[in-house]
């Protein structure tokens, strides 16, 4: 950009700023106001940094605009004001971070009743994000004085911009101990798990689940990067506790079953079950890994054994395996799905697909007691497709691969491959299901309906 080299010429804005009766809206109507702000136009900054003008810009990004007027103009000034406040000009950052009345005005946006305006929430999150990056100490000190800050964050966690703000707090504060001690004292992990509950709406389920997954991955990455850290990551340690996982499983499986809660909870469990990368730097060429759909694919057995996921998750999961198996046999009610090769009644559905992924990931941990429990439940015969890989059901091979080689001690309790409850797939879940398949059985169930063009089953 040419303004980096200070090659700009004087603009119409300089003459405009000479007027004593110039108003802020009139100034923001100028096309080059943001450009002049970024090149640190002294006259412009002197005008914008006047307390009434700063307050007006903060009000624009936090207050619902009047309903009157053209729709395309309602958010014009809020948008321009947000761009100015987040232009990363040191003078603006200093003015915002040092004025507690402006911070209180910003904070008041979270105290709004009801659902937040998504566009204004994005403006608010962007302004708070620049302050977290540039004025960390001032902003964290301000937020820690607010007893209801975490409550308000969780109240509006269904708004994606607020979830992004929480993630910024986790990633942008340079001192990990500060954010971990503060947020761990506020029980942020336990309260996020409370959001994954049938009493909450789907957006809260999804965003709370995503926040927990981000905490897990971020904390584990930091443990790899900071190998000499004297203390474990407190947020991760809380998440990996058996009682924490048990609370999540209770929300998922007790009382009314909600597909959204089940899927969101399983996503957290899958993240916890991801094998960890070794912290040692003495890695051989055989120890490379490749993440495919969240699963570690290429690791030597010794490395895999040394990086098994935490035992708290497995201990909490083991007594619930029967309930997950029951979900495969009696899934949530779904409408029959007509396809070009038959009717699926019921289709596989997102819930059962996630259950399959969870059970496959649990088997990948090589936990002997858990494996025996899965075999006792006859889970392999329920999950394995009963048709060759060329059939429309072949996409389940991605997740049932751990079962296809058989249990460590031989065949399962049923003594063969007569799979009792074949699963039916929803073509919307995989582009591979768009073509006709020769093995569609009566009613859309995928049984051995015919020979495979690639060879015998």
Q: Specify the length of the chain in residues.
A: 457
Please report the sign of the dihedral spanned by the C-alpha atoms of residue 41, residue 43, residue 48, residue 51.
positive
User: Does 341 reside within a domain?
Assistant: no
Q: Alpha helices of 226-347 — where are they, by DSSP H? A: 234-240, 242-253, 259-273, 301-306, 311-317, 321-329
Torsion, Cα 323 328 332 338, to 10 degrees, reads: 180
Tell me what pLDDT residue 456 has.
43
pLDDT score at 84: 96
Structural domain tally of the chain? 1
The predicted pLDDT at position 221 comes to: 83
In a domain, 263, yes or no: no
Residue-number span of the structural domain to which 75 is assigned? 12-145
Residue 346: asked if its preceding bond is cis (omega within 30°), the reply is yes
Q: Please report the DSSP string for 10-37 in residue order.
A: --HHHHHHT-TT--HHHHHTSTTHHHHH
SS3 annotation, 315-371: HHHHHHHHHHHHHHHCCCCCCCEEECCEEECCCCHHHHHHHHHHHHHHHHCCCHHHH
Closest CA to 154 of 195, 120, 124, 202: 195
Residue 367 forms part of a structural domain: no
Q: Give the C-alpha separation, 133 to 212, whole Å.
A: 22
Give dist(CA 116, CA 109) in Å, integer: 8
58 inside domain: yes
Distance CA 445, CA 302 (A): 40
The answer to whether position 55 is within a domain reads yes
| pTM of the entire predicted model | 0.76
77-89, pLDDT tens digit by residue?
Answer: 999 999 999 999 9
Q: Residue 80 to residues 19, 32, 35, 127, 154: CA-CA distances in angstroms? A: 21, 11, 11, 12, 28
Dihedral class, residue 130 (left if φ above 0, else alpha if ψ from -120 to 50, else beta) = alpha
Spell out the per-residue pLDDT of the chain, length 457, in tens. Answer: 444 555 454 567 888 888 888 999 999 998 889 999 999 899 999 999 999 999 999 999 999 988 877 776 789 999 999 999 999 999 999 999 999 999 999 999 999 888 899 999 999 999 999 999 999 889 988 998 998 999 999 999 999 999 999 988 887 766 666 666 788 888 999 999 999 999 999 999 999 999 999 999 988 887 777 665 556 778 888 999 999 999 999 999 998 899 999 999 999 999 999 877 655 443 444 444 444 444 444 444 434 433 444 688 999 999 999 999 999 888 887 778 888 878 877 778 899 999 999 999 988 888 888 989 988 988 888 877 533 444 444 445 555 555 555 444 444 433 333 333 444 444 444 443 333 343 344 433 333 344 444 444 4
Tell me how far apart the alpha carbons of residues 338 and 44 are, in angstroms, rounded to a whole number: 63
Q: Is 297 a domain residue? A: no
Average pLDDT, the chain: 77
Tokens of 135: 């004025």
Q: 152 in a domain, yes or no?
A: no
What's the token pair of residue 222?
Answer: 């930091």
**Tens-digit pLDDT profile for residues 220-231:** 887 777 665 556
CA distances to 82, 123, 131, 375 from 126, in Å: 8, 5, 9, 51
> 296: which strand partners?
291
Which residues are CB-contacts of 421 (< 8 A; sequence separation ≥ 6)?
A: 328, 329, 381, 382
Sign of CA dihedral 84, 90, 92, 98: positive
Other Cβ atoms closer than 10 A to 74 = 16
The C-alpha atoms of residue 337 and residue 344 are separated, in whole angstroms, by 5
Please list, in sequence order, all residues whose beta carbon lies within 8 angstroms of the beta carbon of residue 355, skipping any fewer than 6 positions away: 262, 266, 324, 327, 328
Contact criterion met (CB below 8 Å) for 434 and 346: no
Residue 28 belongs to some domain of the structure = yes
Give the tokens for residue 255.
């009382």
pLDDT per residue as tens digits for the range 281-297: 434 444 444 444 444 44
Beta-bridge partner residues of 343: 338
């Amino acid at each position: 950009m040419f303004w980096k080299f200070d090659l700009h010429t004087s603009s119409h804005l300089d003459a405009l700023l000479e007027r004593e009766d110039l108003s802020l809206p009139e100034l923001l109507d100028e096309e080059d106001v943001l450009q002049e702000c970024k090149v640190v136009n002294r006259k412009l900054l002197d005008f914008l940094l006047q307390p009434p003008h700063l307050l007006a810009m903060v009000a624009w990004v936090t207050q619902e605009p009047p309903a009157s007027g053209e729709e395309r103009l309602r958010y014009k000034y809020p948008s321009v004001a947000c761009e100015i406040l987040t232009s990363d000009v040191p003078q603006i950052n200093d003015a915002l971070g040092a004025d507690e009345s402006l911070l209180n005005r910003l904070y008041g946006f979270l105290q709004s009743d009801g659902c937040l305006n998504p566009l204004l929430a994005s403006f608010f999150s962007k302004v708070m994000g620049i302050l977290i990056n540039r004025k960390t100490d001032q902003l964290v000190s301000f937020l820690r004085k607010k007893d209801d800050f975490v409550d308000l964050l969780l109240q509006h966690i269904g708004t994606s911009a607020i979830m992004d703000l929480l993630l910024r707090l986790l990633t942008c504060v340079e001192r990990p101990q500060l954010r971990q001690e503060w947020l761990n004292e506020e029980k942020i992990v336990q309260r996020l798990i409370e959001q994954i509950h049938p009493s909450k709406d789907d957006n809260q389920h999804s965003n709370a689940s995503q926040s927990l997954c981000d905490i897990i991955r971020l904390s584990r990455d930091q443990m790899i990067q900071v190998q000499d850290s004297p203390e474990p990551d407190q947020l991760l340690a809380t998440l990996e506790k058996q009682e924490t996982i048990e609370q999540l499983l209770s929300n998922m499986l007790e009382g009314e079953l909600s597909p959204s809660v089940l899927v969101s909870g399983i996503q957290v469990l899958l993240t916890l079950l991801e094998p960890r990368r070794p912290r040692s730097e003495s890695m051989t060429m055989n120890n490379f890994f490749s993440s495919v759909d969240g699963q570690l694919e290429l690791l030597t057995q010794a490395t895999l054994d040394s990086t098994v996921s935490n035992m708290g998750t497995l201990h909490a999961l083991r007594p619930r395996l029967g309930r997950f198996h029951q979900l495969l046999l009696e899934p949530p009610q779904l409408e029959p799905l007509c396809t070009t090769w038959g009717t699926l009644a019921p289709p596989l559905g997102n819930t059962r697909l996630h259950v399959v992924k969870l059970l496959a990931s649990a088997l990948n941990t090589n936990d002997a007691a858990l494996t025996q429990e899965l075999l006792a439940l006859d889970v392999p015969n329920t999950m394995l497709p009963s048709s060759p890989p060329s059939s429309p059901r072949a996409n389940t091979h991605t997740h049932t691969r751990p079962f296809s080689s058989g249990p460590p001690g031989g065949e399962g309790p049923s003594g063969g491959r007569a799979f009792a409850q074949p699963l039916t797939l929803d073509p919307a879940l995989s582009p591979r299901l768009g073509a006709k398949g020769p093995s569609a059985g009566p009613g859309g169930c995928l049984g051995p309906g015919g020979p495979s063009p690639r060879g015998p089953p």
